[in-house]
Amino acid sequence: MSAAPTIDPGTHEPPDYQQVQSSAEFDELRRAHRSFAFPLTVAFVLWYLVYVVLSSYAGGFMATKVAGHLNVAFVLGLAQFVTTFLIAWWYSRHAARRLDPRAEAIKSRLEDGA
């Protein structure tokens, strides 16, 4: 049985997180995240609410047969799942291209300064 390696905390000072948070670099990262995540979140919540409202107040429309035993409600319900996965994929792609490089640059600067 081996013991877990010990990490020497060193004698360096921790980064000044308030200074990092107020930097232009961090502000760009935050803006890149918010400009993507907030509108997409609002759009998805509205899409979900439309589905719920239609389910509650437009029963005739939702019961309309599309193909065989499949009705509009079932198709829109499946579309909810598809959109969820598409949004997750799209955000992952956005983060890898736009957010992660910026975050990595900030992290590197913090580690180099520490």
* Chain centroid to CA 25: 20
Which of the pair, 15 or 18, is modelled with greater confidence? 18
Work out the angle at residue 75's Cα, subtended by the Cα atoms of residues 69 and 79, and round it to the nearest 5 degrees.
160
- Determine the pLDDT at residue 13: 73
Q: Which range, of 11-15, 31-35, 43-47, 50-54, averages the lowest pLDDT?
A: 11-15
**Which whole-number Å values give the CA distances from 18 to 13, 21, 39, 64, in the listed order?**
14, 5, 27, 57
Quickly state the pLDDT bin for 20 (edges 50, 70, 90): confident
pLDDT above 60 for 114: no
Q: What percent of the chain has pLDDT over 70?
A: 88
Cβ neighbours of 23 (radius 10 Å): 13
> Among residues 102, 97, 105, 94, which one has the least CA distance to residue 39?
94
Alpha-carbon span 3 to 22, nearest angstrom: 41
How confident is the prediction for the chain on average, in pLDDT? 89
